[in-house]
């Protein structure tokens, strides 16, 4: 699979005029049918360096109140995945001294489930003079993760958004350079689907949505 770099439009400059909407039946179809790929079915090939750069360029075009950019990313490929697996195993050993070799091997194999991983770090700006709520900034980091999934699907990659226990482990956080006021929003695993995906149950919008009548019911 070749990288999609030549298919991306020129990046607009601040102040450029952009359309307020862009009708796209293909985008609607993608959103209606997009499905995260279970990590167990991900395999080679995976996105290369330029593909990852393009994916993140697209993913960073998310709502970002006051343009703070309260997130950053780490790309993890090749041998770095093995190092990450060793880190996950060590974190499990320290957190659970009773863990056996089988359990530690599970941790070692986690990052090997896909050819490429992007760790999205929620990095709120706490000294913002306008005091943008941290919650709004964390939501923006979540939007980066979701936009990554959509962009990956549109580029022809299979992807899934995973956190799991390592995302919250202090040893893992320190080794990845995650600060005390930062959080790992998720690990985005990227590759190619080795088998067809099946639809999973989805919420019924009619059960989740009701009109507000102007007063509490």
Asked if the 38-77+114-194 domain carries CATH number 3.90.230.10, the reply is: no
The token pair at 3 is: 């990288």
Residue ranges of domains in the chain: 38-77+114-194
The token pair at 25 is: 């039946």
Other C-beta atoms lying within 10 Å of the C-beta of residue 36: 17
Q: What's the pLDDT at 116?
A: 98
| Neighbour-count burial of 106, counting CB atoms closer than 10 A to its CB (0-12 exposed, 13-18 middle, 19+ buried) | middle
pLDDT tens digits along 36-85: 999 999 999 999 999 999 999 999 999 999 999 999 999 999 999 999 99
Per the listing, tokens 């929003």 go with 185
Instruction: Report DSSP letters for 172-212, one per residue.
Output: HHHHTT--TT-EEEEEEEEEEESS---------HHHH----
pLDDT tens digits along 157-188: 999 999 999 999 999 999 999 999 999 999 99
pLDDT tens digits along 117-168: 999 999 999 998 999 999 999 999 999 999 999 999 999 999 999 999 999 9
pLDDT tens digits along 7-26: 788 899 999 999 999 999 99
Q: What's the pLDDT at 2?
A: 41
The token pair at 202 is: 């989805």
Q: How confident is the model at residue 3 (pLDDT cuts 50, 70, 90)?
A: very low
Contact between residue 155 and residue 48 where contact means Cβ atoms under 8 Å apart: no
Buried b (16+ CB within 10 A) or exposed e, 41-64: bbbeebbbeebbebbbebbbebeb
Contact between residue 166 and residue 205 where contact means Cβ atoms under 8 Å apart: no
The mean pLDDT value of the chain amounts to 95
Rounded percentage of the chain residues whose pLDDT exceeds 70:
97
Instruction: Report DSSP letters for 61-100, one per residue.
Output: -S--GGG---EEEEEEETTHHHHHHHHHHHHHHHH-TT--
DSSP label of 215: S
How far CA 170 is from CA of 85, 94, 207, in Å, comes to 15, 10, 39
């Amino acid at each position: 699979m070749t990288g999609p770099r030549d298919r991306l439009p020129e990046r607009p400059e601040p102040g450029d005029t952009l359309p307020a909407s862009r009708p796209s039946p293909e985008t609607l179809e993608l959103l209606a049918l997009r499905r995260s790929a279970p990590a167990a079915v991900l395999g080679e090939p995976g996105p290369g360096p330029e593909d990852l750069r393009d994916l993140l360029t697209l993913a960073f075009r998310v709502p970002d109140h006051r343009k703070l950019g309260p997130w950053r990313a780490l790309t993890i490929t090749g041998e770095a995945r093995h190092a990450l697996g060793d880190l996950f195993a060590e974190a499990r050993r320290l957190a659970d001294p009773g863990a056996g070799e089988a359990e530690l091997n599970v941790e070692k194999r986690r990052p090997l489930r896909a050819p490429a991983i992007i760790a999205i770090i929620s990095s709120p700006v706490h000294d913002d003079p306008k005091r943008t709520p941290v919650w709004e900034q964390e939501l923006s980091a979540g939007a980066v993760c979701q936009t990554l999934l959509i962009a990956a699907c549109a580029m022809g990659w299979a992807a899934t958004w995973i956190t799991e226990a390592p995302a919250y482990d202090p040893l893992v956080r320190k080794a990845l350079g995650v600060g005390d006021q930062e959080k790992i929003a998720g690990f985005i695993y990227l590759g190619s689907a080795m088998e067809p995906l099946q639809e999973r149950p989805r919420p019924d919008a009619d059960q989740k949505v009701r009109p507000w009548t102007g007063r509490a019911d």
